[in-house]
């Protein structure tokens, strides 16, 4: 079912109408699945406070059930309720960035969101900045739902969806999808582990580490052996069907010139640099020079180039700057698959 097909959106609320919203909240309350937009990517939601409902997410995604999910809430107060301890690090981040594209990992209150947390003693919490997501979370809360567990609405290991159409490509017409248009940010939230005395950046997002560090008053450490499992942090993730290769501008130019034309036909390129005229690629898309603009379109671009029928997607390596870290991370994982 497509909730977007019935009724008109409310003012300032893309794709949101009261009937669709109520139907979606009812579905969540009954333990069903609803895909919904957030400012980062679309999420595949189920109520976090019922383990059997959460099991539906793992089954639909084909995701191992020990990979923890993020619990989404409409307010910081609802987030704190899931925590056994609410560290000052988490408080500072929540105050500065919620609602927004940032997830904190904190110690989990025993007995809560066990399945959503993949059995771990910590829990990931996020307050998303999207009118549809927030309205859905509030409507669900009115129906007694405490938190909505939601991974990205794609099958395990695939490219995350940034439009309702992407979600339908992943799961077909059987899933209820709230259509909120294209996601503004385009890559998943930054994840910060706050369970240790120092902050650890488990997954870079659109909020770069300099901004996070400014708020925290200290640098973020990188993930190490002690960090909790995170499927978005598996080396090979975000994989298109075609093989992705990260290349410098120079490597791209040379490769395009030495590759026989018949083989170039099966190559798609995503680059800032222009290729010499006369190079007949299977497909090409120019990469925005601005990191936020690139993040916004990244997953749609990968899907589009993949759909061109190319066997290879050559991607120009983004600049090694903090603002590009989230995009670079997704591309490296896509290339590792
Ligand atoms: O932007 C986002 O974060 C999107 C939207 C839908 O909110 N969600 C998302 O969820 O990207 P997912 O499941 O695709 O990625 C969540 C990441 C995974 O890498 C997961 O392992 C990690 O968060 N995670 C969740 N809870 C965790 C925990 N307790 N400890 C460590 N990692 C955790
Ligand atoms: Mg994901």
Q: For each of the chain's 337 residues, which pLDDT tens digit applies?
A: 344 433 444 444 445 789 999 999 999 999 999 999 999 999 999 999 999 999 999 999 998 888 999 999 999 999 999 999 999 999 999 999 999 999 999 999 999 999 999 999 999 999 999 999 999 999 999 999 999 999 999 999 899 999 999 999 999 999 999 999 999 999 999 999 999 999 999 999 989 999 999 999 999 999 887 665 555 555 656 678 899 999 999 999 999 999 998 899 999 999 999 988 888 889 999 999 999 999 999 999 999 999 999 999 999 999 999 999 999 999 999 999 8
Distances in Å between the alpha carbon of 144 and those of 104, 132, 140, 265, 301?
23, 18, 7, 55, 39
pLDDT tens digit string along 283-330? 999 999 999 999 999 999 999 999 999 999 999 999 999 999 999 999
pLDDT of residue 230: 54
Which residue among 124, 149, 185 has the greatest number of ligand 1 atoms within 8 angstroms of its CB, and so is best to mutate?
Answer: 124
Nearest-CA residue for ligand 1 atom 20 is: 230
Least Cα distance to 155 among 22, 225, 25, 62 occurs for: 62
Q: How far apart, in whole angstroms, are the C-alpha atoms of residue 290 and residue 228?
A: 32
The DSSP code sequence of 111-146 is TSSTTTTTT-SEEEEE----HHHHHHHHHHHHTT--
Q: How far apart, in whole angstroms, are the C-alpha atoms of residue 199 and residue 212?
A: 10
> Taking CA 87 as the corner, what is the angle to CA 83 and CA 93, rounded to the nearest 5 degrees?
100
pLDDT of residue 131: 96
Does ligand 1 have an atom closer than 6 angstroms to the CB of 162? no
pLDDT of residue 227: 63
Report the run of H or E that residue 147 belongs to, with start and end.
none
* CA 160 to ligand 1: nearest atom: 14
Q: What is the number of the ligand closest to the CA of 233?
A: 1
Nearest-CA residue for ligand 1 atom 3 is: 189
Q: How far apart, in whole angstroms, are the C-alpha atoms of residue 289 and residue 271?
A: 9
Nearest-CA residue for ligand 1 atom 31 is: 228
Does ligand 1 have an atom closer than 6 angstroms to the CB of 65? no
Please give the model's pTM, rounded to 2 decimal places. Answer: 0.93
pLDDT of residue 16: 75
Which residue among 70, 73, 157, 229 has the greatest number of ligand 1 atoms within 8 angstroms of its CB, and so is best to mutate?
Answer: 70
Q: What is the number of the ligand closest to the CA of 69?
A: 1
Ligand 2 center to residue 257 CA distance, Å?
A: 36
Least Cα distance to 77 among 63, 59, 91, 64 occurs for: 91
Least Cα distance to 56 among 227, 171, 185, 192 occurs for: 171
Ligand 2 center to residue 61 CA distance, Å?
A: 10
Which residue among 230, 234, 239, 329 has the greatest number of ligand 1 atoms within 8 angstroms of its CB, and so is best to mutate?
Answer: 230
pLDDT of residue 79: 98
Ligand 2 center to residue 299 CA distance, Å?
A: 12
Backbone angles phi, psi at 164, to 5 degrees: -65, -35
Does ligand 1 have an atom closer than 6 angstroms to the CB of 133? no
Q: How far apart, in whole angstroms, are the C-alpha atoms of residue 142 and residue 139?
A: 5
Does ligand 1 have an atom closer than 6 angstroms to the CB of 232? yes
Q: What is the number of the ligand closest to the CA of 188?
A: 1
DSSP annotation of 73 reads: -
Domains defined for the chain, CATH in brackets? 18-222 (3.90.870.10), 243-336 (3.40.50)
The 10 Å Cβ neighbour count of residue 305 is 25
Does ligand 1 have an atom closer than 6 angstroms to the CB of 180? no
DSSP annotation of 309 reads: T
Backbone angles phi, psi at 210, to 5 degrees: -65, -40
Least Cα distance to 268 among 229, 230, 305, 214 occurs for: 305
Which residue among 97, 100, 232, 234 has the greatest number of ligand 1 atoms within 8 angstroms of its CB, and so is best to mutate?
Answer: 232
Which pairs with CB-CB distance under 8 Å and at least 24 residues apart come from 169-175? 169/303, 171/35, 171/44, 171/60, 173/1, 173/2, 175/1, 175/33, 175/34, 175/35, 175/44, 175/60
Does ligand 1 have an atom closer than 6 angstroms to the CB of 204? no
pLDDT of residue 3: 46
* CA 40 to ligand 1: nearest atom: 1
């Amino acid at each position: 079912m497509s909730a977007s097909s019935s009724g008109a959106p409310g003012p300032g609320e893309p794709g949101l109408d009261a009937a669709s919203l109520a139907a979606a909240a009812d579905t969540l309350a009954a333990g069903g699945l609803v895909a919904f937009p957030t400012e980062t990517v679309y999420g595949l939601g189920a109520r976090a406070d019922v383990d059997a409902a959460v099991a539906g997410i793992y089954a639909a995604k084909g995701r191992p059930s020990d990979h923890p999910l993020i619990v989404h809430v409409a307010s910081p107060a609802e987030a704190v309720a899931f925590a056994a301890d609410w560290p000052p690090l988490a408080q500072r981040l929540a105050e500065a960035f919620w609602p927004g594209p940032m997830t904190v990992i904190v110690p989990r209150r025993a007995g809560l969101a066990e399945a959503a947390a993949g059995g771990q003693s910590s829990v990931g919490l996020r307050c998303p900045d999207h009118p549809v997501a927030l309205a859905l979370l509030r409507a669900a809360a009115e129906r007694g739902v405490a938190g909505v567990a939601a991974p990205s609405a794609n099958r395990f290991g695939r490219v995350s969806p940034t439009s309702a159409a992407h979600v339908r490509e992943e799961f077909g017409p059987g899933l209820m999808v709230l259509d909120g248009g294209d996601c503004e940010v385009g890559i998943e939230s930054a994840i910060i582990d706050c369970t240790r005395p120092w902050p650890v950046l488990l997954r870079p997002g659109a909020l770069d580490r300099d901004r996070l560090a400014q708020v925290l008053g200290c640098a973020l450490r990188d993930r190490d052996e002690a960090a909790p499992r995170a499927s978005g942090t598996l080396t090979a993730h975000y994989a298109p069907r075609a093989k992705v290769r990260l290349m410098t501008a120079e490597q791209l130019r040379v490769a395009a010139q030495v590759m026989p034309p018949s083989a170039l036909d099966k190559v798609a390129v995503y680059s800032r640099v222009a290729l010499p005229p006369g190079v007949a690629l299977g497909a090409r898309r120019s990469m925005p020079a601005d990191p936020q603009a690139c993040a916004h379109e990244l997953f749609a671009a990968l899907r589009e180039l993949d759909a061109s029928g190319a066997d290879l997607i050559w991607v120009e390596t983004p600049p090694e700057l903090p603002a590009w870290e989230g995009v670079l991370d997704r591309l490296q994982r896509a290339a590792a698959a």
